[in-house]
Structures are given as C-alpha cells and as structure tokens.
Amino acid sequence: MFKRILIANRGEIAQRIIRTCREMGIETVAVYSQADADALYLRQADETICIGAPPGARSYLNIPSIISAAEIADVEAIHPGYGFLSENSHFAEVCNSCNITFIGPSPESIEAVGNKANARALAKKAGVPIVPGSDGPVPDEAVALRTAKRLGYPVMIKAAAGGGGRGMRIARNDPSLVSGFHAAKSEAEAAFGDGTVYLEKYIENPRHVEFQILGDQHGELIHLFERDCSIQRRHQKLVEESPSPLMTPELREAMGAAAIRVAKAAGYHNAGTVEFLVDKHLNFYFIEVNARIQVEHSVTELVTGLDLIEQQIRMAAGEPLSLRQDQVEQRGHAIEVRINAEDPDRDFKPSPGRIEMFVPPGGPGVRLDSHAYSGYRIPPNYDSMIGKLMAHRPTREHAIRCLSRALGEFIIEGPKTTIPLLIKVLDHPEFRSGDHDTGFVARHFGVTPAKVPIKEAR
Ligand code: ADP
C-alpha cells in the first residue's frame, strides 16, 4: 500500500480524500493556489505545497507545478479528485512516466471514453442502447441538417469533449440547428479546446440514472447500483439519490449489466460512472462515462457501506476486488443535495465572499461533506459548491423528511445559498411522489426564479 499520496485538487474533495487516507494510515500532501491559503483541507493534510496563482490554469490545472510538488514531496501516487485534471489522459500518462501512480483508470481508458462521440461508438459495439444520433462527429451544417432530418426534431447538439453541461444546445427546427451548431462548437472550443460536436435525438423530460462501477486491474468489474440524478438545473445535478424511485429489479439488472459491458469494452479499471437517460416507457439509453470519482459518489457509499475513495486507492495499488457482485448490498435510501453559494433569486449568480456564521446540522441519518467554516472566504475563482448534505434512512420518505429537517437547521450567514430552493424541491409533491424528471426544476422553479417566493437563507 502507498505511504504517501498527493491530492491534485482542492475544497470538499481534497478533504474527503484526506479523511480516507488518514483512516488507512496514508500520509497526505495537499496542494493549493494562492486563493486557497486559508482552506480547511490544508490543516488536515500532513504537508502542504503552494502550486501557483488563483486561476486554475496556473495552479490546479498546471501539470508541471503539480508534478514538481509530487517529486519534492516524494509521493508514490496522485489522487486527482473530480474536475481539474481528473479526466486528462495526458496527465495520467505523465504521472505514469514519472513513476507516480495515477489513482484512476489507465490513460488509454480515459482516452477511449473521454470523447463522448467515441464512447457512443464503444457502447453501441458492446450492444448497449445509445440515444439515436449522428454516426460520430458532425463536421458541418449540411451533415447536421441531414442528420436532424433523419432523427426528427427536437435534437441536441453536444460537445464531444463536453462536461458540466457546457457545449450543449437544443434545436427544434433548421434555423435553430444551424445557429446552435455554431454556438455549441465555439463554446466547446473555448471551454475544452476541442470544437468537435455530435447530434442526439432530444429525449423529452427523461430521467437521469447512472451506475457506479468499480474494477480492479485483474479484469474484475462490478457495479454498485444506481443513482438517480434527475433533479437538475441547466443540465447540472442538484439532488442525487439511491435507489432510483423508478427502478424495477429487471431494469436494474439490465442497466447494471449494460454498464459493465461498456466498462469492459473500454478496458476500464478503478471507479467510474456509466450514465444513462431513461424515457417514460423505461427504455434506457447510454449517454456517457465519467472516468473519475463523482461529486455524488457519497450517496452510493451510504447505501452500500463502502468507502469509494478507499476502493479507488486499493484498486490503484493493484489489489484485487474484495467483493463479488452478489455481495454488494443496497441498504435503505440515501439522498444528497449540493449546497452552492449562489443566489436563486438572481438566476443562480455565484455569491462568493466571507461566511460570517456556519452552523452545520446533525442528528440521526445526516452526513455533511463540506470544507466551509465560520469566517471562511469563498474564493471567486472556482466552482460555487460549498458542501454536500446527505440523509440516509430506511425509506425514501423518511430520507426526504430527514434531509429537509437538516437543511432547515443549517445556518450559513453571509453568501446567498441554494438551501431555500433545495428545501422547496424536497417538499414538492412531485418530487415526493418520485415521479419527476429532468424538467422538474425548469418547470417549477427555473424559468423565473425571482418570481418564486423563496424563504430567506438563514
Ligand atoms: P455533461 O457531460 O455536460 O454533464 P451529459 O451528456 O452527461 O453532459 O448530459 C447532461 C444532462 O443533459 C443529462 O443528465 C440530461 O438531463 C441532459 N441530456 C443530455 N443528453 C440528452 C438528450 N439526448 N436528450 C435529453 N436530455 C439530454
């Protein structure tokens, strides 16, 4: 087992990884940008190294800085967390060539699934249903128009290198397809340095259901059941839960097997997620693979009792999987909400600044993963998530009541947060019924958020 790991990330996930390392007796080296000098995770690590200026490109995305830090600190492995360099196959390759273990899949697997147009082809070849769409990338307007004609409107234009909901456009007719095609291309070029786009049929109000997978380096692959992430705002997840309220044993079996087939086709090891959309008739369609630990991994931890960061570290160290598929249990119901420093009354504008008072909730069934504290100044340079609050109870109804109660206890003074909106989501009869879809937030809260009476954040 490794003695010392560097964490190439910040905030909540850096802290999350340090916690597991501590329990495993592994020393941690935390890196930080000048904007994060006051961060809590730095107090929890064994060693800290400043790697550069606040902009991501000059710190958390700066490969030479991170590798130098790893060499100075003499670590054996790097955990990339999520975001930043976590799905950068070049970074994984650089780690390997410096004899530092990259805690994640191989550079080849990251490459195979990182391009979403490639991943679709891979899934199709593995016999997994994909959303009807273009055969690979769409090079120009003419091909886009021909493909849309074949699929029928509405269609979605998606960036092959996409992530975080960027580079995505819905088109309902020829003119909006042409403008959306160029808009998605330039957005993808700016965000990912790759303007490749492809087309998918737009599925009206689907469910988002994903499967957590885990594989060792000896060819064993299992799944850890599903997460339902249908509560989204602008294609970004706000609420995640497991089990999915729409799931039947047959569908779970079929989707779990499909997830494993995709992972096998990519020669995948370590932790990953295979994402699907599910339509009203319970048909499922592969959309993409996330080749990293995800924000919402903790929901799976609660229902399976496994520590996914520990599993990642063990798999990266070459250990065989310690459990078989039939030994993985799904116990009770877990729900997670993402608490962002954003103002729901001002179209979710980021609300950075100093947290004057931070009093976290507690009690039975509650878990909070947060790097925030009273007096913490949220830097404006990074994403606005300040914590994930979760409830784990025997039933869905109980988990919702528990989480709503915990959100009500939470005191965050200073920045605006999404807490008031999240309480409304959890209390909404449609969410409570479990019969909701990805259109929920736009339908009930999204379009004119300023007009929705939202209780003041406490
Ligand atoms: P990203 O990688 O940017 O997160 P995804 O491909 O994972 O993008 O899609 C994010 C979300 O966008 C999905 O969860 C779903 O809500 C929506 N979406 C993606 N593709 C489609 C589609 N073909 N039809 C309808 N909604 C879609």
Q: Whose CA is nearest to atom 23 of ligand 1?
A: 202
User: CATH code for 4-103?
Assistant: 3.40.50.20
Q: What is the pLDDT of residue 345?
A: 84
DSSP 210-275: EEEEEE-TTS-EEEEEEEEEEEEETTEEEEEEES-TT--HHHHHHHHHHHHHHHHHTT--EEEEEE
Token code pair at residue 23: 């329990």
Intervals of the chain under pLDDT 50: 447-458
The DSSP bridge partners found for residue 367 are: 390
> Which residues, including other chains, have CB under 8 Å from residue 331's CB and lie 6 or more apart?
303, 304, 305
Q: What is the DSSP letter of 133?
A: B
Q: How far is the CA of 248 from the centre of ligand 1 (A)?
A: 23
Pocket of ligand 1 contains residue 165 by CB under 6 Å = yes
- Whether residue 14 contacts residue 7, with contact meaning beta carbons closer than 8 Å, is answered with yes
Give the three-class secondary structure for 166: coil
pLDDT single digits (tens) 178-215: 999 999 999 999 988 899 999 999 999 999 999 999 99
Q: How far is the CA of 235 from the centre of ligand 1 (A)?
A: 6
Q: What CATH architecture is 207-445?
A: 2-Layer Sandwich (3.30)
Pocket of ligand 1 contains residue 163 by CB under 6 Å = yes
Q: Which of 157, 202, 235 for mutating ligand 1's site (highest number of atoms within 8 Å of CB)?
A: 235
Domains 132-201 and 207-445 share a fold: no
Pocket of ligand 1 contains residue 156 by CB under 6 Å = yes
Peptide bond preceding 105: is omega within 30 degrees of 0, i.e. cis? no
Total-model pTM: 0.96
Q: How far is the CA of 342 from the centre of ligand 1 (A)?
A: 22
Q: Whose CA is nearest to atom 1 of ligand 1?
A: 163
Distance CA 180, CA 188 (A): 12
CA 247 to chain centre: 21
Atom of ligand 1 nearest to the CA of 156: 23
User: CATH code for 132-201?
Assistant: 3.30.1490.20
Pocket of ligand 1 contains residue 203 by CB under 6 Å = yes
Atom of ligand 1 nearest to the CA of 229: 14
Q: How far is the CA of 79 from the centre of ligand 1 (A)?
A: 27
The domain segmentation of the chain, as residue ranges, is 4-103, 132-201, 207-445
pLDDT single digits (tens) 431-453: 999 999 999 999 998 644 333 33
Pocket of ligand 1 contains residue 235 by CB under 6 Å = yes
Pocket of ligand 1 contains residue 288 by CB under 6 Å = yes
Pocket of ligand 1 contains residue 332 by CB under 6 Å = no
Pocket of ligand 1 contains residue 208 by CB under 6 Å = yes
Q: How far is the CA of 159 from the centre of ligand 1 (A)?
A: 11
User: 325: how many CB neighbours lie within 10 A of its CB?
Assistant: 14
Give the three-class secondary structure for 441: helix
User: C-alpha dihedral over 426, 429, 433, 437, to 10 degrees?
Assistant: -70
Token code pair at residue 431: 């969410």
Token code pair at residue 407: 């959100």
Q: What is the pLDDT of residue 164?
A: 82
Q: Which of 113, 168, 233, 278 for mutating ligand 1's site (highest number of atoms within 8 Å of CB)?
A: 168
Token code pair at residue 144: 């886009």
Token code pair at residue 57: 């490109």
Active site residues: 292
